[in-house]
């Protein structure tokens, strides 16, 4: 389990820093173009690792069909709903809704995976979520119901992330993390390039798609987002979900908020306020409580033998 927790923490660290690189990338390209370039690089990197025999992928058509719904939930639908949702709602509203992913995951995992959590774990998840929301609210964020269409799309994005965590749990026990990751990246590559190129074909703006690629700053941001924040995080998430419950894994996502705050303070010179510290304590307490205050879920004998 130690490796699984390390993977979950590394995942949160990379995602937390990714917001800074997303901000930079969006100065040069639209959200859809950024996603297309991001997943082009991540899929190309996966193919290069495969050709160089650094990784191995063993998948058949029936495996692709089994993993396809997972890849549609994340990255395709998750980023799709998020990108269009942020056109009609603020990023802070998106952050508040994303903070609720562990709650949705806990509910779905209990419903579909029969994962059991005690009262202390449920309280810990709530404390972690409340810590993130507290930080956003103290920064002046709120939910504006006039942004209803955007909020609904962001809510769907949140549900997709929760659904991904739950759906990936049984698949991660059956397939290697890299097998799942390779198919996910392929789906992201096809989905976002089709959408971006289709949009530019309709509007006759092909030049806008390739122009950012001449900027070193944009390429650096895409390198981080494509290789670390897409390829590596997909592997770490799938690996962690093969070892720990979805409800426990999802709460680690809120650690990304702490990393984002620290990155802003260290690299962007943003101020650190008292409410950041209070929220950070709540988030850490929630993550620790969720993972330390529950009993270990017992696997059926057949699954136990398969995982050995």
For 121-156, write each residue's pLDDT tens digit: 999 999 999 999 999 999 988 888 888 999 999 999
For 189-218, write each residue's pLDDT tens digit: 999 999 999 999 999 999 999 999 999 999
Residue 122 in contact with residue 106, Cβ under 8 Å?
yes
For 204-257, write each residue's pLDDT tens digit: 999 999 999 999 999 999 999 999 999 999 999 999 999 999 999 999 999 998
Confidence of residue 31 (pLDDT cuts 50, 70, 90): very high
Among 270, 248, 244, CA closest to 19: 270
pLDDT of residue 15: 92
Answer whether residue 89 shows pLDDT above 60. yes
Answer whether residue 77 shows pLDDT above 80. yes
| DSSP characters over 251-293 | HGGGHHHHHHHHHHHHHS-----HHHHHHHHHHHHHHHHHHHS
Q: How many CB atoms lie within 10 A of CB 301?
A: 8
């Amino acid at each position: 389990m130690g490796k699984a927790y390390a993977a979950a923490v590394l995942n949160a660290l990379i995602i937390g820093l990714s917001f800074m690189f997303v901000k930079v990338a969006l100065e040069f390209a639209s959200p859809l173009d950024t996603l297309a370039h991001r997943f082009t690089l991540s899929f190309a990197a996966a193919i290069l690792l495969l050709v160089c025999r650094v990784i191995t992928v063993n998948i058949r058509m029936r495996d692709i069909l089994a993993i396809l719904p997972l890849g549609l939930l994340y990255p395709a639908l998750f980023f799709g709903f998020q990108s269009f949702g942020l056109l009609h709602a603020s990023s802070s509203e998106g952050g508040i809704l994303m903070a609720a992913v562990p709650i949705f995951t806990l509910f779905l995992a209990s419903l579909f995976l029969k994962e059991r959590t005690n009262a202390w774990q449920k309280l810990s998840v709530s404390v972690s979520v409340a810590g993130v929301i507290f930080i956003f609210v103290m920064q002046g964020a709120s939910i504006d119901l006039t942004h209803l269409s955007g909020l609904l799309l962001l809510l769907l994005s949140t549900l997709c992330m929760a659904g991904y965590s739950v759906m990936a749990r049984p698949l991660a026990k059956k397939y290697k993390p890299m097998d799942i990751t390779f198919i996910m990246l392929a789906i992201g590559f096809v989905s976002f390039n089709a959408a971006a190129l289709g949009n530019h074909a309709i509007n006759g703006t092909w030049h806008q798609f390739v122009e950012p690629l001449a900027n070193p700053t944009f390429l650096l941001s895409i390198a981080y987002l494509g290789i670390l924040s897409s390829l590596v995080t997909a592997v770490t998430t799938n690996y962690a979900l093969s070892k720990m419950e979805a409800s426990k894994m999802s709460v680690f996502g809120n650690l990304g908020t702490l990393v984002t705050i620290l990155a802003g303070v260290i690299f962007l010179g943003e101020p650190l306020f008292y409410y950041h510290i209070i929220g950070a304590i709540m988030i850490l307490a929630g993550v620790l409580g969720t993972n330390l205050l529950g009993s270990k879920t017992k696997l059926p004998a057949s699954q136990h033998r398969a995982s050995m």
